[in-house]
């Protein structure tokens, strides 16, 4: 009996310690070694390689920042964490940010993240079909089943733009939502006729005999900036210095990533589990120095055209 009571007492103490510890640690960020801790929500994919490189190369420490990179499964987890102030910054594609802003979430882009290479057939994402498929170009996608990772977002709107550019009928294409890792299996089984994939699944698909029929980001706009780092307007107003320092460190990281593609391929092995044998075959996105405003307007236009947002999006308000 005494043992059980002792165990119970110990258990409740542990619980108290756990609760107390958690709250104290997160509510009041302390300065550690003179560096300001900053939390950034990222998705563990190729696109965020520059920020990992920047941390490794000390570009953030130069600005007095100590970033904690919090990997999340997708924008669904990142956007609320930034909007509520749990995270200072987050990584997201621009269509998601346009939609979020049109729904009244006050978000602001602070740095570009990743962009298309602008070279058709040699981009980091595209529409792939099975080896023996009769589909030859984006035009043939009309009436077919195409898998995208999120419905009503950047990938289905840009695939529609691609079909439009090729002179096809974008209305009749049937989109299905599938996670990137599940797409190639679905394509093989014939559950879908085409899949819109990004690296590393694009390289995997091409290695397995898949055929690229469209580079949807390239067809949408030249040098399309696809994703970037954002913060909430509240954080931007409360900590302007932090935002400025983060943007500066990010600029340097993006430039370093552009100049050192081999370092990008190498750092991938630290935060992803991509097969080292595959990294050489990956097509890297570009890491633009600034957000391409024109491309952003194009994305906003597509979002309105495809009914993702009801009113004309406020692109200027999104930009820094």
Partner 1 sequence: MTAAVTADAPGLDAGGRRHRPPPAWALGLTGLATLVAALELAPRTGLVDERYLPPFSAMVTALADQAATEQFWRSLAETLRGWAIGLTAAMAAGVLLGILIGGIPLLREATASTIEFLRPIPSVALIPLAVLLFGTGMRSTLVLVVYASFWQVLVQVLYGVRDVDPVARETARSYRFRPLTRVRTVIWPTALPYVMTGFRLGAAVALILEVTGELVIGSPGLGREIAVAQTSGAVASMYALVIVVGLIGVAVNTVARATERRALRWHPSVRSDAVA
Is the Cβ of residue 75 or residue 115 nearer to partner 1 in the bound state?
A: 75
Does 6 help bind partner 1 (rule: CB under 8 A)?
A: no
Does 233 help bind partner 1 (rule: CB under 8 A)?
A: no
Is the Cβ of residue 67 or residue 170 nearer to partner 1 in the bound state?
A: 67
Is the Cβ of residue 34 or residue 273 nearer to partner 1 in the bound state?
A: 273
Ranges assigned E (strand) in the chain:
36-42, 65-71, 89-93, 107-115, 125-129, 145-148, 174-177, 194-198, 211-214, 225-232
What residues are paired with 214 via a beta bridge? 127
The answer to whether the CB of 177 falls within 8 A of the CB of 147 is yes
Does 105 help bind partner 1 (rule: CB under 8 A)?
A: no
Which one of 4-12, 28-36, 109-117, 135-143 is the stretch in contact with partner 1 (CB under 8 A)?
4-12
Interactions with partner 1, residue window 247-306 (CB under 8 A): 271-275, 278
Is the Cβ of residue 121 or residue 276 nearer to partner 1 in the bound state?
A: 276
The size of the interface with partner 1 (CB under 8 A), counted in residues, is 41
Ranges assigned E (strand) in 180-284:
194-198, 211-214, 225-232
C-alpha closest to that of 67 among 45, 51, 91: 51
Does 190 help bind partner 1 (rule: CB under 8 A)?
A: no
In angstroms, what is the minimal distance from the CB of 167 to partner 1? 33
**How large is the C-alpha radius of gyration of the chain?**
22
C-alpha closest to that of 178 among 153, 157, 195: 195
Does 69 help bind partner 1 (rule: CB under 8 A)?
A: no
- Tell me, rounded to whole angstroms, the distance of Cα 163 from its chain centroid: 23
Does 195 help bind partner 1 (rule: CB under 8 A)?
A: no
Is the Cβ of residue 119 or residue 185 nearer to partner 1 in the bound state?
A: 185
Torsion of CA 264, 112, 223, 312, to 10 degrees: 150
Identified binder of partner 1 from the candidate list 73, 119, 177, 289, rule CB under 8 A: 73
The residues, ordered by sequence, that sit 6+ positions from 276 with a Cβ below 8 Å of its Cβ are 269
d(CA 220, CA 214): 11
Q: Are strands 211-214 and 125-129 parallel, antiparallel or unpaired?
A: antiparallel
Identified binder of partner 1 from the candidate list 29, 64, 80, 106, rule CB under 8 A: 80
Does 1 help bind partner 1 (rule: CB under 8 A)?
A: yes
d(CA 206, CA 156): 21
Is the Cβ of residue 78 or residue 99 nearer to partner 1 in the bound state?
A: 78
* Greatest Cα-to-Cα distance within the chain, rounded to the nearest angstrom: 80
In angstroms, what is the minimal distance from the CB of 190 to partner 1? 13
Is the Cβ of residue 273 or residue 311 nearer to partner 1 in the bound state?
A: 273
Identified binder of partner 1 from the candidate list 6, 18, 238, 312, rule CB under 8 A: 18
Q: CA angle 311-218-134, nearest 5°?
A: 105
Identified binder of partner 1 from the candidate list 93, 196, 204, 216, rule CB under 8 A: 204
C-alpha closest to that of 92 among 68, 84, 223, 81: 81
Q: Are strands 125-129 and 194-198 parallel, antiparallel or unpaired?
A: antiparallel
Does 201 help bind partner 1 (rule: CB under 8 A)?
A: yes
> In the stretch 21-60, what mask flags binding to partner 1 with x, by CB under 8 A?
-x---x--------------x-xxx---------------
Q: Tell me which residues touch partner 1 (CB under 8 A).
A: 1, 4, 8, 11-12, 14-15, 18, 22, 26, 41, 43-45, 70-73, 77-78, 80-81, 84, 86-87, 179-181, 184-185, 188, 200-201, 204, 208, 271-275, 278
């Amino acid at each position: 009996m005494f043992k059980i009571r002792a165990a119970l007492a110990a258990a409740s103490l542990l619980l108290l310690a756990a609760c107390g510890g958690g709250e104290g640690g997160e509510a009041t960020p302390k300065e550690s070694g003179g560096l300001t801790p900053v939390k950034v929500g990222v998705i563990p994919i190729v696109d965020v390689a520059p920020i990992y490189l920047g941390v490794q190369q000390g570009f953030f420490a130069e600005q007095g920042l100590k970033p904690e990179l919090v990997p999340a499964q997708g924008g669904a987890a990142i956007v609320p964490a930034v909007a509520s102030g749990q995270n200072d910054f987050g990584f997201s594609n621009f269509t998601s940010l346009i939609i979020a802003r049109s729904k009244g979430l006050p978000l602001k882009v602070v740095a570009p993240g990743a962009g298309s290479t602008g070279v058709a057939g040699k981009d980091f994402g595209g529409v792939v079909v099975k080896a023996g498929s009769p589909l030859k170009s984006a035009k043939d996608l009309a009436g077919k089943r195409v898998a995208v990772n999120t419905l009503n977002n950047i990938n289905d709107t840009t695939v529609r733009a691609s079909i439009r550019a090729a002179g096809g009928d974008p209305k009749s294409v049937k989109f299905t939502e599938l996670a990137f890792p599940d797409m190639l299996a679905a394509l093989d089984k014939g559950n879908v006729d085409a899949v819109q994939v990004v690296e590393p699944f694009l390289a995997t698909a091409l290695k397995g005999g898949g055929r690229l029929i469209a580079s949807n980001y390239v067809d949408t706009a030249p040098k399309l900036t696809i994703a970037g780092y954002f913060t909430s307007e509240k954080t931007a107003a409360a900590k302007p210095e932090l935002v400025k320092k983060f943007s500066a460190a990010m600029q340097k990281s993006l430039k370093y990533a552009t100049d050192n593609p081999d370092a990008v391929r190498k750092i991938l092995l630290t935060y992803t589990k991509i097969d080292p044998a595959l990294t050489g075959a990956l097509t890297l996105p570009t890491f633009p120095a600034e957000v391409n405003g024109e491309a952003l307007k194009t994305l906003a236009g597509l979002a309105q055209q495809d009914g993702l947002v009801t009113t004309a999006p406020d692109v200027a308000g999104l930009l820094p």
